[in-house]
Amino acid sequence: MTDRKVLVDKSRSGKVRPWRERKLENLQYGDYLQILNYKKAHRVKECGEVLRFVEDEQGHKKLAQTWFCHSRLCPLCNWRRAMKQSNQLTQILEEAVKQRKTGRFLFLTLTVENTTGKQLKSELRQMGRAIRDLMRYKKPAKNLLGYVRSTEVTVNHEADQPMYHHHMHVLLFVKSLYFKGSDNYISQSEWTGYWQRAMKLNYVPIVNVEAVKPNVDRHKNSLLASAQETAKYQVKSKDILTNNQEQDLQVIDDLEQALAGSRQISYGGLLKEIRKQLQLEDVENGDLINTDSDDQDTDQVVREIVAKWDYQRNNYFV
């Protein structure tokens, strides 16, 4: 046992992939599910116990086999899911730019007031209906080519009971005509009015809209940055694992109920068509071993490596 080495899995850029951190979070999440008497608790804790990699001569590893639990709040699965969603979305956006070279992108953030755990599920459903209505309104639809929307939920732990800030990130692909004249251009206040109307709100919501730079680089307002923001975790681990057990249990139970059967990401228009053209797998229920990332490609495989989680030493060893 003593000669076994700790797993080190690095990306091509040299960044260490956080297998240990995500697995520790996964186990804590599984413990909470067990306390809450969720039947899937045991299955969740078995997530990613044994990892089989293939490795090339340069030492680049690619995950070849493991078992993921696919639970919506599992930190290990969410990490892989976010990677896959980001990589798929980047492929879709690159293809969209090829097909409609003059198209432009907007990044729209749509919010509503915080809600309770009991109301969260119905509120999320209402937001899903409202975004579809919003895209059908005459002026937004006029120059809309396609869109992708994702839902994010953050937790306010300061109140007497956990409150949930649910909001949507929407990446819009529009005709260049959108920016020409008041008949086409939609101001932030107009977007706010449309969202208020679609959600049937009796207050003015906070809405933000920004033009996205078309170059796919890592600039704050770049297309890649917007894709990553859209595809990021629906719920961050830090919101459900705060070391306040009583509150964590409440939050996990609320979110398990609210997110069951929902979709984090959905596509519309041209982006939906391109997704079908590229025959991309459904991330919600699909394979999390292959994240569709060039970063995880290896050259000629020279060895296989098996890493197992050690429950005594809280790490993966090979």
What predicted TM-score, i.e. pTM, was given to this entire model?
0.91
Gap between the Cα atoms of 139 and 234, Å rounded: 29
In a domain, 48, yes or no: yes
In a domain, 12, yes or no: no
Q: What pLDDT, on the 0 to 100 scale, is given for residue 297? A: 57
Give the list of residues 6+ apart from residue 181 with CB closer than 8 angstroms, or none: none
In a domain, 225, yes or no: yes
Q: Is 165 left (phi over 0), alpha (psi -120 to 50) or beta?
A: beta
Gap between the Cα atoms of 263 and 285, Å rounded: 10
> How would you class 35 by CB atoms within 10 Å of its CB: exposed for 0-12, middle for 13-18, buried for 19 or more?
middle
Amino acid identity, position 42: H
Q: What pLDDT, on the 0 to 100 scale, is given for residue 302? A: 87
Q: Domain count of the chain?
A: 1
Q: What pLDDT, on the 0 to 100 scale, is given for residue 282? A: 86
In a domain, 173, yes or no: yes
The token duo for 136 is 């059908």
The token duo for 73 is 């709040």
In a domain, 5, yes or no: no
In a domain, 128, yes or no: yes
Sign of the C-alpha dihedral, residues 205, 211, 217, 218? negative
User: Which structural domain range is residue 272 located in?
Assistant: 19-282+292-317
In a domain, 137, yes or no: yes
- Looking from the CA of 195 toward its CB, the CA atoms found within 13 Å total 26
Gap between the Cα atoms of 127 and 202, Å rounded: 15
Q: What pLDDT, on the 0 to 100 scale, is given for residue 298? A: 58
What is the residue-level pLDDT of the chain in tens, covering all 318 positions?
Answer: 457 899 999 988 889 999 999 999 999 999 999 999 999 999 999 999 999 999 988 888 999 999 999 999 999 999 999 999 989 998 999 999 999 999 999 999 999 999 999 999 999 999 999 999 999 999 999 999 999 999 999 999 887 789 999 999 999 999 999 999 999 999 999 999 999 999 999 999 999 999 997 665 555 557 777 877 888 878 999 999 999 999 999 999 999 999 998 888 999 999 999 999 999 988 888 899 998 665 555 568 889 999 999 999 999 999
Q: What pLDDT, on the 0 to 100 scale, is given for residue 158? A: 82
> How would you class 289 by CB atoms within 10 Å of its CB: exposed for 0-12, middle for 13-18, buried for 19 or more?
middle
- Strands 50-56 and 144-156, bridge-based pairing: unpaired
Q: What pLDDT, on the 0 to 100 scale, is given for residue 222? A: 75
Q: What pLDDT, on the 0 to 100 scale, is given for residue 242? A: 94
In a domain, 86, yes or no: yes
DSSP 8-state secondary structure symbol assigned to residue 72: T
Rg (CA), the chain: 21
